[in-house]
Structure 1
Amino acid sequence: MEYEPAEYQKLQIRQYAPRSIRETAEGKYWRRFKAPIVAKQFGAVSHIDFCPTYPFNLAVTASTRVILYNGLAPAVVGRTISRFKDIAYSGCFRSDGKLVVAGGQDGIVQVFDANSRSVLRQFKAHKRPTRVARFGEDKLHVLSGSDDVTARWWDVSSGTQVLRLDGHRDYVRAAAASPTSPDTWATGGYDHTVKLWDVRAGGAPVLSLDHGAPVEDVAFFLSGSLAVTAGGNYLCVWDLLGASPSGGSGSGSGGRLLKRLDNFQKTVTCVRLSPLAGPDSVAAPRMLAGSLDGHVKIFELDSFRVTAASKYPSPVLSLGLSPDCRLLAVGLADGSLTVRKHARPKALAGAPGMPPPTKTRYQPRLTAANFRYFIRGQNSKAAETDYRVRKGRQAKLQPYDKMLRQFRYRDALDSALSSRQPEVVASVLEELAARGGLGGALGGRDAEGLRGLLRHLVRYISEPRYTRLLSNVGQRLLDVYSGVVGSSPAVDRLLGALRNRLAEELGVQDQLAALAGALEPLLAASLAGAV
C-alpha cells in the first residue's frame, strides 16, 4: 500500500497583542488639529468663550482683562477690555456676539459693547468676587454667581436685579443654561452641590445634586435632560428627569447619577459639549474636559469612553471649542493660551451669520452604464477592523518553512534569526520545541552561529511577550555551551551578558511574586467588604 506524503502546513507566525492601542478614526479626527498657536497672557487664563455666531470670535479672560480674538485669524487680537479695578472673571459673549459680560474681583458685573468696549451696565449687588456671569437666551437677562454664596438674575435693559437665588452654602463658581428651556439654569458651588433653578418660579431651587466635591464647572447636554458636573478628579453625568438617587436631594423628582468618570489624576476644572461629532457625523457630539494634571480628554457619549487625549505643559484651567469645531482653545495656569485649528474644518451650515455653502459639483450616479462603476473601490484602503479574504492559492513558503519541511532545524533557526523579526524567531523556536528538534537546532554551533543567537537572546529576553520562551532557551544554551567558555572572547562576552540578563529577569519575577502575595489579601478583603 502506497501513502501520499501529507501537504506541508506553512508555519503560522504567532500574533501578539499590539504594544499600544491602534489609533481609531475618532482619535485621528482630534489629532488633525494643527500645532497650537500660543499667545502669552498677563496671567492665568481662567475662562474661554466662543461667540455663537460666525465668525465665532473668542473671548479670553486673564488677569485684569478680557481679550477678544478674531475667529478667522485666532492669532490676531481684535479688542482688549481692561476696564476692571482688579482681576476679571468669566468673560462671555451674548448669543448675537454684540455684548460681552464679565464679573470681577470687586463683585461688580459689567456689560460691555463688543465693538466699542464701552461699559453699558454695571450690577453692584454682590458683596464678594463674582466668578461667573452668563447671558440668558433671551439676550435681556444675565445670571451671575459670586463668592457671597448667592446667584442673581439681572435685567440688562433696566440694570436692576430681578431675582436673588439663595441655596448654596459656599462659593458659586459655575453656571449653565439649559439649551431646551431658557428659564432653567444650573449653578455649581464649593458646597459640593449643583442647584437647578427656574427663574420664573422664584428663589427656591427646583433640584439639588450632590457632586461629592467642590464643583468647578457644569454643562448641559444638547437634549437638556442630562447634565455633567466637574469637580475633584472626576466628572458626574446626571439624568435630570430620572428618579432621585440616594445622593440627590431637593424639591424635584429628578437627579439620577448615570456615570462617574474617574479619568483624571487631579482636579477637573472645565467641561464642554461639542456641537458636532468627531469624524463625520453631526448626530453624536462629544464631551471635552480639562484638568490640573495637564490633560484634555474627549469622551464619546454612549459608554463615556475616552476616545482621544492631549497633554499640555501646564495645568488646564479653561477650554473652548468653536461651534463649527474648527478651533480648539485651551487656557493654562502659566498664562498660555493655545489655539489649535483643524486641518479639515467642517462648516456648520445654517449657523447664524454663516455664509451660504458653496455649490458642489454634480456627480452622476454610478450604474453599469458607466465605466467607473466597474473600477470603483480599487483605490480604497482597508480599515483597521476590515478582514481580507485571500484567493485560494498555493502558499508561498519562507526560507525557514522550506528548511523545516526538510527537517533542517539548525538552518531553519538561522534563517529566522536573519529575518530580524522577533515574532518569527519565537514562532520557529516554539515549532522546534513541539517537534522535539530544539536540542539539535541549539547544539553543534560554531562561534559565528552562536553569536547571532546570543545577540538575539540578550536583546529580546526582557520583552514581556518573549521572556518566558527565551529564558528557557537561554538557560538551555548556557548548559550546552558552558564547557566551551574561553575559546572565543566574543562568545564569552555574550554568554556573560546572557547570564546577567537572566539573573535580572529572575530578580524581577521574584519581586513581582512578592508584590502579588502582598496584594492578594488586600484585594480579598476589599472584595469581602464590597459584598
Structure 2
Amino acid sequence: MAINDPSDPIVKTFAVKPKLKPTSTKSSPPETKYWESFRPKETQTLVSSITSLAFSPSHPHHFAATHSATVTIFSSQTLQPKSTIKDFKDVATSASFRSDGQLLAAGSHSGSIQVFDVKKRVALRTLREHTRPVHFVGYPRVDKLHLLSGGDDAVVKYWDIVKGVKEYDLIGHKDYVRCGDGSPASDDMFVTGSYDHTVRVWDVRVNKGSMLTVNHGAPVEDVIYLPSGGLIATAGGSVVKIWDVIGGGKLLYSMEKHNKTVTSLCVGRIGTDSPNFTDQSRILSVSLDGYLKVFDYSTLKVTFSKRYPAALTSVAFSPDCSTRVVGSANGVLFAGKRKTVGKVEPVKGEWGNYIGFGAVDEPEKRVLRPSYFRYFSRGQSEKPSKGDYLIMRPKRVKLAEHDKLLKKFHHKEALVSALQAKNPENVVAVIEELVSRKKLMKCVLNLGTDELGLLLGFLHKYCTVPRYAGVLIVLAKKVVEYRVDDINGSDELKVYVRYLKRLVVEEIRIQESLQEIQGMISPLLKIAGRR
C-alpha cells in the first residue's frame, strides 16, 4: 500500500491552500486619494454627445450640459436633472453662466446665441450675427454686461447683451474658432483658439486686433487661463501646452500623455484637507482615448489618471471642490461627488474671481427655508448699530363704517352711520366731505323721518359749540328751508325745531350781552393804554 494512499485510515489528507502573495507596504499618494474620492454616482445617459459642461459660479453651483438641441441643468447635490431648455433649432454648444449665476448663454450650430434666465428658463436675448455654427460662448469673469463668442466663420464677436447688439468684430483667425476663455486679471482680456493652429490674446480696450499670437502646432480644441492670469493652457492634437502670456508667448512645457485628440480642459482645485500640497491648482484634461489626466503644472507631472469606457468630449470642476463631471461622446455623463470634511467656501481675489478655497472646521449650517419658524424670527434679537436705519412697516388703518360707505359712494348711508355713532367729530368730518363732493343737500333731501330726526337732534346739541358752529348753523338753516313741509307734518320733528329755535334765541341773547360788555370794556382799555 502506498504511503500517500488516501484509503489508508492512518494517513490524513489536508486541503491545499494557495500561497499568500506579499502585501505591498506602499500607500497611495495623498493627491491620488483625493482624486479617487470623487465617487461616481449613478451616471446620466443623455440623447447624444455632450458638447460642453459648465458650473454656475454662484452657490449651490449647479451645472449645465449641452447635448443635441438641449441644455440640461443638473443639481450639484443630487447630480440629477433639475431643468431642461429646448429652445434650440440645432445642436447646442458651449454653455456659459454669468458671474451671478442668473443668466446662461449657449451657442448652436444654427449660428445663433441664446441668453436664458436660469430660473424661468425663458430666452431673454437671441443674437444672430454669426453666419456659421457657434462653438464658443463665454462671459467675462465679473462683467455682467458683455459676452464673447466665436464660430466657424472665423470671427470673434464682442456683444453688449443689455442692448442685444454686437459691439466689435475681432478679425484675425483664418479657420474655425472652437474655444476661448476670459482672463481672471481683467474683464477686457480674453483668449481664443482656432483650427488654424493659433491662439490669440485679445484686449478690447487697446484695439480691435489681437495683442499676442502663439502657434500650438495643431488644430486647437480648447484653451483656458490658469488662475494667475499670466499663463494659458492649450489643447490640440494629443498635446497640452502651457504658455507664458506675460513673457511674450513663451512655451513653458508640452505634456504628451494622451494617445488621441485632447478635447477639453479645465482648472481643478484641491481642497485643503491635506497640508502637503504646495500648489492647489491642477489642469484636468480629457481625450478621445477615454482618459482623464490631472496635471500639476508647478512640478510638471501627471499626478492622476483615470480611464473611462468611452471617448471623452468635455470636463468641468465645481468651484467648491465637491463635484467633478466628465461628458462622453456617447451621451453618458460621469458625475463624481466628493464628501467634504468641512464647509468649503471660495475666496475671491483682487479681481473678484475665485482663486482659492479654504476649509472651515465648523460644521455646515442648515439652510433656512421659508417653511422653518427660524426663517421668520431671524434677526429679531440683533441690536442696531449707529449706521443702521430702522424701517417700520406702516400700520394698516382700520376704517370706520362711515369711511367704508364713503369709499363705496353710499353718501346718505355714511351720514346716517356717523349720526348713529354719536361722535360729533366724525359727523362734522362726514358733512365736510359731502360738501366737498357736492352731495350734502341731496342726502338731506333723501333722509327719512327718523333719519331727519337724528340730524335735527344732532344740530340742536352741537350747532352752538364754537368748534362746529361755522358748519352746523348754516346746515341747520338749509335743513329747515328744504324740509319745511316734512317738519310741519310731523309732531316729533316740530319738537326738534322748537328746541333748536329756543337754543338759537338763547345764543342770540348771549351774543348781545357779550357785545354790551365789550362796549363797556373798550373805552376803559383805551384810557388804560394812554396812561
- TM value normalised by structure 2: 0.60
Displacement after TM superposition at 1:266 (Å): 0.2
Q: Which residue of 221, 243, 266 corresponds with 1:272?
A: 266
- Which ranges of 4 or more aligned residues in structure 1 deviate by more than 4 Å? 17-22, 350-354
Q: Which has the higher contact order (CA 8 A, sep 6+)?
A: 1
Seen in structure 2, the aligned counterparts of structure 1 residues 345 and 212 have a Cα distance that, compared at 3 Å, is: farther
What residue in structure 1 maps to residue 154 of structure 2?
149
Bigger radius of gyration among the two: 2
Q: Is the 8 A contact 1:278 1:286 kept in 2?
A: no
What residue in structure 2 maps to residue 85 of structure 1?
89
What residue in structure 2 maps to residue 213 of structure 1?
218
Q: Where in structure 2 are the equivalents of 1:330-345 lying within 5 Å?
A: 330-344=326-340
Displacement after TM superposition at 1:223 (Å): 0.6
Q: Deviations along 1:353-411, whole A, 9 cap, x unmatched?
A: 99x967479xxxxxxxxxxxxxxxxxxxxxxxxxxxxxxxxxxxxxxxxxxxxxxxxxx
Distance in structure 2 (CA, Å) of the matches to 1:335 and 1:80: 16
- The answer as to 2:252 corresponding to 1:258 is yes
What is the aligned length? 333
Displacement after TM superposition at 1:36 (Å): 3.4
- The answer as to 2:43 corresponding to 1:38 is yes
What residue in structure 1 maps to residue 526 of structure 2?
none
- The answer as to 2:133 corresponding to 1:129 is yes
Q: For residue 35 of structure 2, give the secondary structure of its aligned residue in structure 1.
A: helix
Question: How large is the RMSD of aligned CA atoms in angstroms?
Answer: 2.6
Paired residue type of 2:264: C
Distance in structure 2 (CA, Å) of the matches to 1:346 and 1:263: 34
Paired residue type of 2:301: R
Q: Where in structure 2 are the equivalents of 1:58-457 lying within 5 Å?
A: 58-75=63-80, 77-136=81-140, 137-242=142-247, 254-276=248-270, 280=274, 283-344=279-340, 347-350=343-346, 359=362
Q: Percent identity of the aligned residues?
A: 37
Structure 1 residues not aligned, in runs of 5+: 1-16, 243-253, 362-531
Distance in structure 1 (CA, Å) of the matches to 2:90 and 2:363: 52
Q: Is the 8 A contact 2:30 2:274 kept in 1?
A: no
Seen in structure 2, the aligned counterparts of structure 1 residues 344 and 239 have a Cα distance that, compared at 3 Å, is: same
Displacement after TM superposition at 1:37 (Å): 2.5
Displacement after TM superposition at 1:35 (Å): 3.0
Displacement after TM superposition at 1:351 (Å): 5.8
Q: Is the 8 A contact 1:30 1:278 kept in 2?
A: no
What residue in structure 1 maps to residue 29 of structure 2?
24
Seen in structure 2, the aligned counterparts of structure 1 residues 345 and 106 have a Cα distance that, compared at 3 Å, is: farther
Paired residue type of 2:262: V
Displacement after TM superposition at 1:202 (Å): 2.7
Q: For residue 209 of structure 2, give the secondary structure of its aligned residue in structure 1.
A: coil
Displacement after TM superposition at 1:99 (Å): 0.3
Distance in structure 2 (CA, Å) of the matches to 1:21 and 1:305: 20
Displacement after TM superposition at 1:277 (Å): 5.1
Q: For residue 28 of structure 1, give the secondary structure of its aligned residue in structure 2.
A: helix
Distance in structure 2 (CA, Å) of the matches to 1:345 and 1:273: 22
Q: Is the 8 A contact 2:134 2:149 kept in 1?
A: yes
Distance in structure 2 (CA, Å) of the matches to 1:182 and 1:349: 23
Q: Deviations along 1:11-63, whole A, 9 cap, x unmatched?
A: xxxxxx99998621111111111133300101101100001111000111111
Structure 2 residues not aligned, in runs of 5+: 1-21, 349-353, 365-531
- TM value normalised by structure 1: 0.60
Q: Is the 8 A contact 1:32 1:344 kept in 2?
A: no
Q: Is the 8 A contact 2:221 2:236 kept in 1?
A: yes
